Amino acid sequence: MSLGSWLTYSGGIEADATRACTEAAFEAGVNFFATANVYGQGAAETAWGEILSSRPRDSYILATKVYFPMSDDPADQGLSAAQIAQQIDASERRHPGPRRRPVTEPTLAPGAQPGVQHR
């Protein structure tokens, strides 16, 4: 079981509610948190980075995703090795405290192939 952050922690609810939901998830035994760089253009990753930084790093798994545009630059999206590395680095910057490597699940658009730019 995991707790996701798509329409909620990217700005849909206040920070106090985000923290309360995350704490309730931990109390219920949830330790897998799923987000994406594009959720709120990094806002969801930032929120969880701040909330989870007070917990021991080995007490949870934080998964993020890449693929969708992160800016108006058409090159700032996709699943090329360079783009994945760039987005992982950006995700890490949104997590204050000790460096941690997010688990990254590539998300493919319908008909897309890994490593191939589709426009």
Catalytic residues: 39
**Could you please report the per-residue DSSP string of the chain?**
--EE-SSSTTTTS-HHHHHHHHHHHHHTT--EEE--TTGGGGHHHHHHHHHHTTS-GGG-EEEEEE-S-SSS-TTS-S--HHHHHHHHHHHHHTS-SS----EEEE-PPTT--TT----
